[in-house]
Structure 1
Amino acid sequence: MSDTPPSASWPRPYWQPGEEDAVLQFYVFGKFDAELLIPSPRYGSPGLPAGVEIQRFQNAVLRQWEGYPLNGALGALLKEDASGTYEQARIAPEVLVVRGVLKDGASLDYLRDTMGVLAGMLDVGGTAILDPQILTLFTAEQWRRHYLVKDGAPPRNHVLILCSGEEAADRSWVHTRGMRKFGRPDISLHHVPERDVDRAGVLCERLVELLSLGANFGAGHKLEVDGVPEGLVARPGGSLDDPEFNNTHIAFRWPE
């Protein structure tokens, strides 16, 4: 995304119709004028796409909501990762909640337009943006650096890639969060040996790109992976209620 008016389309060159909707959700903390005038055209966005809406709350009121994102396990994680930004968001007078559900389609213009609105919100009083799908709370400057990229930030910037230990001492679980923004399942690579963790991370990045640009992997689809002669076989599963992903996922198991 650039800071100039022209808004080139964000196509999905590998698009095949999917069965899931794209889900967007962001919290913008700050203090805003009574009349909310968001300069999204400055960032190549005509405004929010159909299906995405803004709700405005007093932070003190929203804090009473059971699902308030700065409370609970997510709040504890955010406080540990970025205590200064967490406190800035916690004491902000207002919160703008941007969320919506969109049908799967052949372009990512809905994401481009939404990101342009978020950028505009930072110009009119926003001080921090929470993306709960990737468990990340950005300061305004961090958000701009991460997303205000010429021609649009790459899909990798919209997704979190994690590495966790598994029961076997020398094996890891490499997985993603955030693919619901694209209406696609997350990636789960199990049983990755220590020597292949970097290779698995690169593979995750490549799969994020393919899926976000419209590809789909059905059950039994085999991936050819350098250094893995047997390849990896896709096993779709999970549900939107799975707390590890808050999404369905495609599992691959690294061979012995």
Structure 2
Amino acid sequence: MSEATPPASWPRPYWQPGEDEVVLQFYVFGKFEPELRIPSLRYGSPGLPAGVEIQRFQNAVLRQWEGYPLNGALGGLIKEDTPEAYEAARIAPEVLVVRGVLKDAASLDYLRDTLGVLAGMLDVGGTAILDPQILTLFTADHWRRHYLVKDGAPPRNHVLILRSDEGGDRSWVHTRGMRKFGRPDLSLRNVPERDLDRAGMLCEKLVELLSLGAHFSAGQQLDVDGIPGGLVAQPGGSLDDPEFNNTHVEFRWAG
């Protein structure tokens, strides 16, 4: 994208004002010049939105922090899932931590602008980006393929959809990462094996609806083909819930 091209807005057609808060947090591992000049304009970003900040750390210093993301359970998961990215992050001399809490907004321009800055960081020494909200560490090339998509990556790319066994032939389909949109995560309980693909596709559609500003109220019915009476929304949970690190809205599969 030319630096002279004004960035296109990322609208939220279903948005209504509320008290929701957006949480952004990313770790960019690499080696950077003493004076950090991030070419975010080439990615359609004028810079970080107000409320989002960059902190710069030596990796060896940050590693002593109790919550260092390459340690503990998250570090073990990352090392197993993406060993190449884990090694790039481990040996990187520096870490740029991008984080902020924002008020819910009528557009996703805040996300567009933040992603543009992250892309620019990869051009000036970044080698890996960790998104702890979706438990994923990306190499620079993987991150570019995943997010540098014309007109913006779809909401599904920003969210992790998981399946957990509930016993018998029943599964729990749930998400992580919706705090980036200021929305609760999704929880689909009691999903039979025969409906797993359908539940996954439904989850993707609901992620898109919520990310574009929709809300589900308690008791709201969601019509789903093949499920008599549909699914009923039950908001709940808390930001401290380790399963989501977020509130969530639950639907229980019938049948």
- Structure 1 distance, partners of 2:70, 2:214, is 34
SS in 1 for 2:37: coil
Corresponding residue of 1:145: 145
Question: Is contact 1:173–1:191 with CA below 8 Å preserved after alignment?
Answer: yes
- Structure 1 distance, partners of 2:197, 2:157, is 18
Corresponding residue of 2:192: 193
- Structure 2 distance, partners of 1:57, 1:220, is 46
CA drift at 1:229: 2.2
SS in 1 for 2:151: coil
- Structure 2 distance, partners of 1:84, 1:8, is 34
Superposition RMSD on alpha carbons, in Å?
1.0
Corresponding residue of 1:238: 237
CA drift at 1:84: 1.9
Instruction: State yes or no: 1:49 paired with 2:56.
Output: no
* Corresponding letter in the other structure for 2:145: R
Deviations along 1:86-123, whole A, 9 cap, x unmatched? 11101100000000000011011000000000000000
- Structure 1 distance, partners of 2:9, 2:212, is 13
Q: What is the number of equivalent residue pairs in this alignment?
A: 254
- Structure 2 distance, partners of 1:19, 1:243, is 22
Instruction: State yes or no: 1:109 paired with 2:109.
Output: yes
Correspondences of 1:125-164 after superposition (within 5 Å): 125-164=125-164
Corresponding residue of 2:175: 176
CA drift at 1:228: 1.3
Corresponding residue of 1:7: 7
* Corresponding letter in the other structure for 2:222: L
CA drift at 1:230: 1.9
- Structure 1 distance, partners of 2:84, 2:202, is 34
- Structure 2 distance, partners of 1:17, 1:209, is 18
Question: Is contact 1:18–1:184 with CA below 8 Å preserved after alignment?
Answer: no
* Corresponding letter in the other structure for 1:184: R
Question: Is contact 1:18–1:216 with CA below 8 Å preserved after alignment?
Answer: no
Instruction: State yes or no: 1:67 paired with 2:82.
Output: no
Q: Post-superposition, which runs of at least 4 consecutive aligned residues in structure 1 deviate over 6 A?
A: none
Question: Is contact 2:19–2:103 with CA below 8 Å preserved after alignment?
Answer: no
- Structure 1 distance, partners of 2:44, 2:226, is 42
Distance of aligned partners of 1:188 and 1:3 in 2 relative to their CA distance in 1, 3 Å threshold: farther
SS in 1 for 2:180: helix
CA drift at 1:3: 6.9
Mean Cα deviation higher: 29-38 or 84-93: 84-93
* Corresponding letter in the other structure for 1:249: H
Question: Is contact 2:31–2:93 with CA below 8 Å preserved after alignment?
Answer: yes
Which ranges of structure 1 fall in alignment gaps of 5 or more residues?
A: none
